[in-house]
Amino acid sequence: MDRKYFGTDGIRGQVGKGHITPDFVLKLGWAAGRVLGKGNNSSILIGKDTRISGYMFESALEAGLVAAGVNTRLLGPMPTPGIAYLTRTLHAQAGIVISASHNPHQDNGIKFFSAQGRKLPDEVELAIEHELSNKMTTVGSENLGKADRVSDAAGRYIEFCKSTIPSTMDFSGLKIVVDCANGATYHIAPFVFDELGAEVVRIGTEPNGVNINAGVGSTSPELLVETVLKTGADLGVGLDGDGDRLIMVDERGNILDGDDLLYIIARSRQKNGGLNGSVVGTVMSNLGLEIALKERGIGFERVSVGDRHILERLQEKDWAIGGEPSGHIICLDRTTTGDGIVSALQILAEVYKSGRLLRELRADVEKCPQVLVNVRVEEGGNIMALPALKEAVIAVEVELSGQGRVLLRPSGTEPLIRVMVEGRNAQQVSRLADQLADRVKELVG
């Protein structure tokens, strides 16, 4: 069945438009309660990032769930992976996240976790969509759900994060800049690293409802780089608004993206006998990562873009490590979903064990030049099926002569066509990416 509401990562859009409205989210809460809330004492958790619209949607979801007869537990601002963790450990039937991740404050979205702390299966999302087509009703007053607030949510998650590395590790002597993107990790990430002994320099920890991801965080690392250099820090940790993505910065100000970090974690697991199977990347993963891993005897497989696809392949093969260049890294041997703080701790653990600098740990990865251009699409229509676009792609592939890759794909979270060209010659790659992007713009009109 075609999805009407759910995209690749829940339901997302601009606040006040489309499905991101209070009335729709009210009914979504009710529909989710009808599908997910089972049993007399069933409960569903609600957490959010720091967007100002989160207050509105938190209340709407709560009302919908209560109307369906489901108890609701409010977590307040909490990273997406923290909500996944608490859903499991508090034995809830599901967890709901109010967040648009790395998007600006004007956007928001709703995504769900199962009782096991994993993304919902397709059939469950479709069941919620089916329920949305029905008229909303309210259970009898005696069967209405109740709501309470989980007061120690942040503390519980902080302790979990620390538990993902050996308790003997002490990061005393390390100075770390932590950028929380003015998002959901602002009251968690600095404390994790501080309690492990590091000297923490904080940026992006003063959310005001509208400054989430604004010039800070993993998608805008310039301030993180500047602060690492200015303070003489050993490294920097950059998270996104909901805490499931990570980039890092070495002491020289060089940015390590998800490919670099995935390599370090995979090599660390391999050296310590803990790498089970191959590493999973996506079609956007740099060719240099694949080459570096395979040269060291580590298998590498690509899937479609999106952590959902990575997770599915890892579970299918019973493997543990996967990730995207954006910094969405999954360590299934530590947790159930992508987690920026947990991923950063795995990197720091390797720095601690090896005694090597961050830049030394990623030195074996020689990136191929890769250019990504986003083309905004305002109108609907299946642009990807146009023969003229296919011809333009073939022309670029012919010029690359088998020494690179071309990828065009619609974004699953924004109205964009993503144009990626990768090859061995940086100037050629840049020119061909712009050429192909210009052709997409022409066809879009």
CATH code for the domain of 403: 3.30.310.50
Is position 275 within any domain? yes
Separation of alpha carbons 192 and 172, rounded Å: 13
Q: Are residues 283 and 145 in the same domain?
A: no
In the predicted structure, residue 266 carries a pLDDT above the cut 80:
yes
Is position 1 within any domain? no
Q: Are residues 48 and 73 in the same domain?
A: yes
- What pLDDT is attached to residue 379? 57
- What pLDDT is attached to residue 160? 98
Q: Are residues 141 and 179 in the same domain?
A: no
Q: Model confidence at 376, in pLDDT bands (50, 70, 90)?
A: confident
In the predicted structure, residue 437 carries a pLDDT above the cut 90:
yes
Domain enclosing residue 30, as ranges: 11-151
Q: Model confidence at 339, in pLDDT bands (50, 70, 90)?
A: very high
Q: Model confidence at 14, in pLDDT bands (50, 70, 90)?
A: very high
Q: In this structure, are residues 312 and 291 in contact, taking their beta carbons and an 8 Å threshold?
A: no
Least-confidence region, from 34-48, 97-111, 141-155: 34-48
Q: In this structure, are residues 299 and 266 in contact, taking their beta carbons and an 8 Å threshold?
A: no
- What pLDDT is attached to residue 341? 98
* Catalytic status, residue 101: yes
Least-confidence region, from 80-84, 103-107, 286-290: 286-290
- What pLDDT is attached to residue 403? 81
In the predicted structure, residue 286 carries a pLDDT above the cut 60:
yes
Q: Are residues 36 and 68 in the same domain?
A: yes
Is position 90 within any domain? yes
C-alpha angle with apex 294: 405 to 265, nearest 5 degrees?
A: 100
User: Which of 311, 337, 361 is the endpoint of a domain?
Assistant: 361
Q: Are residues 351 and 224 in the same domain?
A: yes
Q: In this structure, are residues 105 and 212 in contact, taking their beta carbons and an 8 Å threshold?
A: yes
The pLDDT > 90 percentage for the chain reads: 85
How many domains does the structure of the chain reveal? 3
Residue tagged active-site, from 101, 268, 285, 326? 101
- Of all helices (H) and strands (E), which one includes residue 323? strand 321-323
Is position 137 within any domain? yes
- What pLDDT is attached to residue 76? 97
Q: Model confidence at 401, in pLDDT bands (50, 70, 90)?
A: confident
Is position 34 within any domain? yes
- What pLDDT is attached to residue 382? 75
Q: Are residues 163 and 147 in the same domain?
A: no
Q: In this structure, are residues 436 and 406 in contact, taking their beta carbons and an 8 Å threshold?
A: yes
Q: Model confidence at 43, in pLDDT bands (50, 70, 90)?
A: very high
Separation of alpha carbons 261 and 385, rounded Å: 35
Compute the half-sphere exposure of residue 57: CA atoms within 13 Å on the CB side of its CA.
32
pLDDT in tens, 295-312: 999 999 999 988 889 999
Q: Are residues 66 and 138 in the same domain?
A: yes
Amino acid identity of residue 381, one-letter, is G
3-state percent breakdown (helix, strand, coil) of the chain, nearest 5: 40, 20, 40
Q: Are residues 56 and 90 in the same domain?
A: yes
Q: Are residues 171 and 274 in the same domain?
A: yes
* 108-127 average pLDDT score: 95
User: Which of 128, 151, 174 is the endpoint of a domain?
Assistant: 151
Q: Are residues 86 and 178 in the same domain?
A: no
pLDDT in tens, 180-218: 999 999 999 999 999 999 999 999 999 999 999 999 999
pLDDT, the chain, mean: 94
User: Which of 344, 361, 378 is the endpoint of a domain?
Assistant: 361
Q: In this structure, are residues 259 and 325 in contact, taking their beta carbons and an 8 Å threshold?
A: yes
Is position 314 within any domain? yes
Q: Are residues 161 and 141 in the same domain?
A: no
Q: Model confidence at 7, in pLDDT bands (50, 70, 90)?
A: confident
Is position 4 within any domain? no
Is position 3 within any domain? no
Separation of alpha carbons 445 and 432, rounded Å: 20
Q: Are residues 214 and 348 in the same domain?
A: yes
CATH code for the domain of 214: 3.40.120.10
